[in-house]
Structure 1
């Protein structure tokens, strides 16, 4: 009789990620088109990777709430070149025979029309090496254009509840990891209010693969309830030209992080990934203003003051 560990293969994990992409897209389409005569639907672009595997990139543009969004699934495989091993911190695996890798996951970035609705990002992924190593990674983080205390606390409490179901140590550890990861050193500010981030979660005797997979499933399943909540709560909040200009500036910071610091972007480009899918996270419009300084006492200044590590939201 097969154990639960043996039943959790790369095929079962891949199947979950494919289903997760389907369910998230359906939930977002429903939330975006609620109350509208004609809902905007995701456009699917199926692709194959020359080195092995492929994926489904789904994009939604000009929705009622979502101005541009991408929900991508991929399952790719191939030789782990020296640059790949370096990206994965696995240079010690380099031997006479080139190892192979298998990577699968779901990655999401949504850019809303209304500046009062936050940008959100999620990634859940699984890696497996022919050398026998395997691990999970991922997380969810929120980038409000305007940081609202009530919304930030709700978001972090939701993630804490998810983490606490598996290990009370997860939330404080992964929250701090997110603060450190989603940081823009050249701006000395965080990309947003963080969330949770984890990587290289490898099975052990104490925490078997089944437990890690259950945690990653819970994180993935949390995405749709979290973002549809913000879509419905903030979609009709008023805004004007000032708020839109601020939104474009904050999107600029988002671009800076993704292109300069994000490891996922670098890994995708260094492993000859599909450029359109890798850069699907870019906003439809972003602005840069030379030496912009928020007006003293403004909401913009208050937001910048909260873009720092270590804020206790729970």
Structure 2
């Protein structure tokens, strides 16, 4: 059986790989690391990059925490045991360039150690996802992103991509705006072994998804980083960032779980952009690139 120690070690290695790749991509800024401990058990490595050539603010966080769940979280997860162990990587990158997209990814593992006693069905699962939030939607970038994700999924199960894409469309949805956060991606939770899917394959899929981040974001940044932009386009970037903040504060399950398990506030809220704007009743001009982007922020688009 794959142990939580092995999962933890492999996730830490993936964090190292991603941080090194992002520093190389930016060419200027480096990550600052803070090692922290959680009251109640465990801790993590928060790594933040700021004020780079292209990366205005980003975090690549690792955590491995354990302890007892509150009654609220137990009801949310539909579990009976009190004890838990959770480890994972969470990434959010906010570029300074309005033609370069925001990207988010996380891979995670959860188990309840007491459920591994003899005669019990172990409570454990993997979750994760990656989604893209362009300030301006470019069709060729959207196709590249989704095709790369489909290729990663198809290596493990042909049903993953369509199922997880729909899950992402439904999850990354700002209900009070009736628009998606971006162009989606994939999202999954409570993925467990089945008759046709081995536990080792799920773990390998989790790691492959984590490592796909480097190829995806390097390509998207380099496609767009040298494009010119106007002050008006920069203002639009700030408005799109405000939508991102709204989703993370109102709907994001990871934010809620971190707060309800006494997580580290700075790490939980590192996903928020450094600068955002809320303008009253802003309406883009008909026929503009901004209006076109809004028209593409909806579920069910087959990229």
The TM-score bracket by the shorter chain reads: over 0.9
- Kept in 2: contact 1:175–1:196 (CA 8 A): yes
SS at match of 1:120: strand
SS at match of 1:145: coil
Gaps of 5+ in 1: 1-5, 34-38
Pair 1:296-2:286 in alignment: yes
- In the TM superposition, 1:39-118 aligns within 5 A as 39-90=28-79, 93=80, 99-118=82-101
Q: Pick from 101, 105, 109: which aligns with 1:126?
A: 109
SS at match of 2:168: helix
Q: Give 2:236's aligned residue.
A: 246
- Kept in 1: contact 2:99–2:224 (CA 8 A): yes
Give 1:306 shift: 0.2
How far, CA to CA, are the matches of 1:203 and 1:102 in structure 2?
18
Give 1:81 shift: 2.0
- Kept in 2: contact 1:53–1:75 (CA 8 A): yes
- Kept in 2: contact 1:83–1:271 (CA 8 A): no
Q: Give 1:23's aligned residue.
A: 17
Give 1:272 shift: 0.8
Give 1:67 shift: 0.3
- Kept in 1: contact 2:126–2:206 (CA 8 A): yes
SS at match of 1:159: helix
Pair 1:11-2:2 in alignment: no
How far, CA to CA, are the matches of 2:50 and 2:230 in structure 1?
21
- Kept in 2: contact 1:87–1:267 (CA 8 A): no
**Structure 1 length as normaliser, TM-score?**
0.93
Give 1:206 shift: 2.7
SS at match of 1:54: strand
SS at match of 1:295: coil
How far, CA to CA, are the matches of 1:243 and 1:119 in structure 2?
15
Number of residue pairs matched by the alignment = 296
Give 1:181 shift: 0.2
How far, CA to CA, are the matches of 2:24 and 2:75 in structure 1?
41
Gaps of 5+ in 2: 116-121
**1:123-182: CA deviation from partner (whole Å, max 9, x where unpaired):** 000001122210000011000000000000000000000001111110000000000000
Q: Give 1:221's aligned residue.
A: 211
What's the RMSD between the two structures over aligned residues?
0.8
Give 1:203 shift: 1.9
Give 1:83 shift: 1.8
Give 1:215 shift: 0.7
How far, CA to CA, are the matches of 1:21 and 1:214 in structure 2?
16
Q: Pick from 164, 172, 177: which aligns with 2:167?
A: 177
SS at match of 1:217: helix
**Structure 2 length as normaliser, TM-score?**
0.96
Q: Give 2:181's aligned residue.
A: 191
Q: Give 1:3's aligned residue.
A: none
